[in-house]
Amino acid sequence: MRTRGASGTPARARRARDGAFLTSDAARRLDEDLTAGRACEARSLEALMRAAGRAAATATLDAFGGTDFVVLCGPGNNGGDGLALAREVATRRRDARVSVWYPKGAGTNELYGELVRECRETANVEFVDEDAVLGMMRERATSAAATPRCFVDALFGFSFKGAVRAPFVNVLNALVALTNGDARETFTVSLDIPSGWDVDAGAPDDGDIFVPDLLVSLTAPKQCCATLDDPARGEPRPRVKRMAQTHVVAGTFLTDALCEKYGLEQIPLRVDSDREYVPLDLWRR
Ligand SMILES: NC(=O)C1=CN([C@@H]2O[C@H](COP(=O)(O)OP(=O)(O)OC[C@H]3O[C@@H](n4cnc5c(N)ncnc54)[C@H](OP(=O)(O)O)[C@@H]3O)[C@@H](O)[C@H]2O)[C@H](O)CC1
């Protein structure tokens, strides 16, 4: 039976409206607060990114027992989180084969450049091109002898807007096809936002969508996750709803003051936690 609050509002709908989720704008402001040290101790972007990559790597390694990882990295900080994760995974699971697709590269960004250098020089991560990634995805559907492979989606985070542009279209389309088809021995992880989803509105309404096996929300889930189980938005499609089962939050940056400022009291992970990530079952209580 669904529980009701004092006002008679279904509890789950009430929680969603209470602000367990961050809009793209609030997520950006919260990250600025974290680096500026407003309502918390200041941390550099590099420290935040390395901590996010480390925690997301732990969640990924706990969920996927294989040794083959392909990390898809976009042009922004979400891609930086992916680079940090790739290095962590390759360092911690020494028998792992870790490939990174990073089509735009680090450019002049020193932090991204340093993460790329560490991947190459200290962790034996291999950088691959689009043809190689598409081949690794296609092989999933055709090879009966496929060994387990994990694709990590670090393409776009909370600054994603509009329709996907080059050079990401083919790979993201292949990821959608892969996870909607008969992909053998495939595990998918998204960092912060399932790529292709509108950060505030959620999964696209029409056509196939990419639904990862594991979503690792960083600091707090974004508004797109409200479609998982918010009766006020209507029933989510079954595949989207299933994702609520494998949704964790990572990144121990939230102080009580920040939770109050952004209405995130329900987020269980705080700055003094000794756990790197926790399952988010806000929608199932
Ligand atoms: N809270 C934490 O723990 C931390 C979170 N972090 C991560 O940071 C991202 C947000 O990073 P940000 O750089 O602001 O944004 P994105 O990673 O989403 O990248 C934005 C760039 O993506 C390109 N873009 C946007 N829309 C499209 C599109 N439709 N098609 C193609 N490309 C697109 C655009 O780049 P251009 O080069 O094309 O201009 C955007 O600039 C957050 O989600 C977390 O993952 C931090 O690491 C700190 C710790």
CATH number for the domain running over 15-279: 3.40.50.10260
Tokens for 209?
């969508």
276 lines ligand 1 (CB under 6 A): no
Residue ranges of alpha helices (H) inside 181-271 are: 238-243, 256-262
Distance 270 CA to ligand 1 centre (A): 23
What pLDDT score does 240 carry? 62
Burial (CB < 10 A; 0-12, 13-18, 19+), residue 250, is buried
| Atom 32 in ligand 1: residue holding the nearest Cα | 165
Domain range annotation of the chain: 15-279
Distance 161 CA to ligand 1 centre (A): 9
Report helix angle 169-180 to 130-142, nearest 10: 10
Query: What torsion, rounded to 10 degrees, do the Cα atoms 181, 187, 189, 193 define?
Result: 10
Length of the chain: 285
What ipTM is given for this predicted complex? 0.98
pLDDT, position 239: 57
User: Taking Cα atoms as reference points, which of 138, 137, 134, 200 lies closest to residue 167?
Assistant: 134
Q: Is the pLDDT assigned to residue 9 strictly greater than 60? A: no
At 124-165, the pLDDT tens digits run 999 999 999 999 998 877 766 678 999 999 999 999 999 999
> Ligand 1: which of 43, 48, 77 to mutate, judged by most atoms within 8 Å of the beta carbon?
77
Instruction: Please name the residue ranges forming H helices in 93-151.
Output: 110-122, 130-142
Q: State residue 238's pLDDT score.
A: 58
Q: Is the pLDDT of residue 59 over 70?
A: yes
Is the confidence at residue 235, as pLDDT, over 80? no
